[in-house]
Amino acid sequence: MPNPQNNNPQTALRAVYMRGGTSRALFFHEKDLPAAGPARNAMILAAMGSPDPHKRQLDGMGGGISSLSKIAIIGPASRSDADIDYTFGQVAVDTAVVSYKGNCGNISSAVGPFAIDEGLIPPDSSTQATVRIHNTNTGKIIVARFALQNGKAAVMGDFALDGVAGTANPIALDFLNPGGSSTGHILPTGNVTDQIETEGFGPLEVSLIDVSNPVACLRASDLNLTGSESPADLTAMPNLLERIETIRIAAAVKMGLCSAEEARTTLRNLPQIAIVSAPSPGNNAHITVRMISAGQAHLATPLTGGMCLAAAMRIPATIANRTAHLPVDPAQPLNISHPSGTLTVDATILTTPELHIPSVTVYRSARRLMQGEVLVPTHRI
């Protein structure tokens, strides 16, 4: 572990920079970081270039938007049904906050390849790997399955992921029993819809769902939107994101995630906001969504948010269920239209004897981009 009490102007910290799905993150070995707490967070913030009031993170590895301001910490498994532990951190861009509440599905897709390439676990065979990942944020198990080439995670393949240029090797992610990831309940309030009071829009009907990550789902029309707006359009609308933030704060309180003050200051990434509308005519999608994550209009959709939305589409009488044009065959996967393309999710739902979600399966790709050491100013830590 680096010693921040040295005389060097900068401290070197071993790290790997990885793309996972449509996000990027710095990956750390747990043993290379201080114990969880202020010292660890100070190192992470310095490495990412936060806080930056200009929201660019120019003095660090962050990219100035929520999908490019993430970290992953990998360590030995603390459970017998897992191969490794994985802790996700959402690093705020403009404030000194690292949130460990909730997981990131996109970054989850890079965890298995990282573990294999770092030699943390042996592969199943010379051609395939299966990695059982314990996500410490949610207490859930994720099973990653992917091909190998010369003992390393394969990169080349014909899998195209909307929002990512080119093609790559696919990674199958099975999220086992993803319900109640943060609240302990698929329906945290016990209702398929709730009325919440917001400072920005007044009373609104929402569906509050917790599958993989908590999501507040609402109709685009209730926000005077068509649902087809681009992220740039949403960002440019005067005070829109600030008003939507009042929805997130009210929903966080209603779901029992935290107090209103905590939602404003420390838990700024949950719940995600899913603004839904019917799919466009002729589109092969079953629903259209515009996601707001960590206060920003997402350029695609957070993977965990997409998984939660797919589950909500299957749960009778939710806003997503009533908005979606569901396939006739309930075994058919669900297609979610987002600004960068379409996300296909396979969600299994059981409604008797009680609501239960055995698994949600998605396909992503990942790639190691850089490896070595990230330098952080010693005075920051």
Can you tell me the mean pLDDT for 241-247? 96
Structure tokens at 63: 């990219």
Query: Of 80, 154, 78, 76, nearest to 121 (Cα)?
Result: 76
Instruction: Report the pLDDT value the prediction gives residue 2, as an integer from 0 to 100.
Output: 64
List Cα–Cα distances, 4 to 1, 26, 117, 221, in angstroms: 9, 19, 28, 52
Q: Show the CA angle centred on residue 236, arms to residues 278 and 258, nearest 5°.
A: 75
Can you tell me the mean pLDDT for 307-321? 96
Question: Is residue 56 classed exposed, middle or buried when 0-12, 13-18 and 19+ CB atoms within 10 A define those classes?
Answer: middle
Instruction: Report the pLDDT value the prediction gives residue 261, as an integer from 0 to 100.
Output: 96
Query: Of 23, 21, 18, nearest to 117 (Cα)?
Result: 18
Residue 1, pLDDT > 90, answer no
d(CA 247, CA 251): 6
List Cα–Cα distances, 72 to 6, 43, 279, 378, in angstroms: 26, 13, 34, 21
Residues 6+ apart with CB under 8 A from 196: 203, 204, 206, 247, 250, 251, 254
Of the pLDDT bands very low, low, confident and very high (cuts 50, 70, 90), residue 4 is: low
pLDDT tens-digit map of 186-215: 999 999 999 999 988 999 999 999 999 999
Can you tell me the mean pLDDT for 78-93? 97
Residues 6+ apart with CB under 8 A from 278: 227, 287, 288, 323, 324, 325
Can you tell me the mean pLDDT for 122-150? 94
pTM of the shown model? 0.83
d(CA 48, CA 323): 39
The mean pLDDT value of the chain amounts to 94
Query: Of 235, 215, 216, nearest to 225 (Cα)?
Result: 235
The pLDDT > 90 percentage for the chain reads 87
Residue 3, pLDDT > 80, answer no
Can you tell me the mean pLDDT for 49-70? 96
Structure tokens at 155: 């990169």
Residues 6+ apart with CB under 8 A from 163: 22, 299, 300, 340, 341
Residue type, 141: I
Of the pLDDT bands very low, low, confident and very high (cuts 50, 70, 90), residue 125 is: confident
The pLDDT > 70 percentage for the chain reads 98
pLDDT tens-digit map of 247-292: 999 999 999 999 999 999 989 889 999 999 999 988 889 999 999 9
Residue type, 354: E
Cα 198 versus chain centre, distance: 25
Q: Show the CA angle centred on residue 311, arms to residues 307 and 315, nearest 5°.
A: 165
Residue 351, pLDDT > 90, answer no
CA 45, 50, 51, 52: dihedral to nearest 10 degrees?
170
pLDDT tens-digit map of 167-187: 999 999 999 999 999 999 999
What domains, with CATH codes, occur in the chain? 10-170+366-380 (3.10.310.10), 194-347 (3.10.310.10)
d(CA 317, CA 192): 6
Residue 5, pLDDT > 60, answer no
Terminal CA-to-CA distance of the chain, rounded, Å? 13
